[in-house]
């Protein structure tokens, strides 16, 4: 199975900072990658699919990029409500798998 590895596992940043989270696939997955945000105690929410397509209703400060094995989720200006754990998910082949998550906190 293709493994998805996120880095860092956790990070702390200040309001207004630009934040980047990386997801690496153990094999190429083209652009078959989604990103989710899970706030504490809440349900995962789809942010991005096809590596860079923003889901309707998601703030434009979120963006995704990458193809092949290396992908990034960027928050252009961190807001307090962005405190959450972020997961990537590959879906080029079965089984779909998730990264281990990146926990984002406010400094």
DSSP one-letter string for the chain: ---EEEE-SEEEE-TT--EEEEEEESS--TT-EEEEEE-TTS--EEEEETTTEEPTT--TTEEEEEETTEEEEEESS--GGG-EEEEEEE-SSSSPEE---EEEEE-
The CB-of-44 to another protein minimum distance in angstroms stands at 6
Cβ distance to another protein smaller for residue 17 or 54:
54
Cβ distance to another protein smaller for residue 14 or 56:
56
Among 13, 61, 100, 106, binds another protein (CB under 8 A): 100
Total Cβ atoms within 10 A of residue 91:
14
The CB-of-96 to another protein minimum distance in angstroms stands at 5
- For another protein, the binding residues in 24-43 under the rule CB under 8 A are 32, 34, 36, 43
Tracing tokens 């590895």 back to the chain, one arrives at 5
Among 37, 49, 62, 86, binds another protein (CB under 8 A): 49
Q: Where do contacts with another protein occur on this chain (CB under 8 A)?
A: 1, 32, 34, 36, 43-46, 49, 55, 87, 89, 91-101
């Amino acid at each position: 199975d293709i493994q998805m590895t996120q880095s860092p596992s956790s990070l702390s940043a200040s309001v207004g900072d630009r934040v980047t989270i990386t997801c690496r696939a153990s094999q190429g997955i083209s652009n078959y990658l989604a990103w989710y945000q899970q706030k504490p105690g809440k349900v995962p929410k789809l942010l991005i699919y096809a590596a860079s397509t923003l889901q309707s209703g998601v703030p434009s400060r979120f963006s995704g990029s990458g193809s092949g094995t290396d992908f990034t989720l960027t928050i252009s200006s961190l807001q307090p409500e962005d405190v959450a754990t972020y997961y990537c998910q590959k879906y080029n082949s079965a089984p779909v798998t998730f990264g281990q998550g990146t926990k984002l906190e406010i400094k």
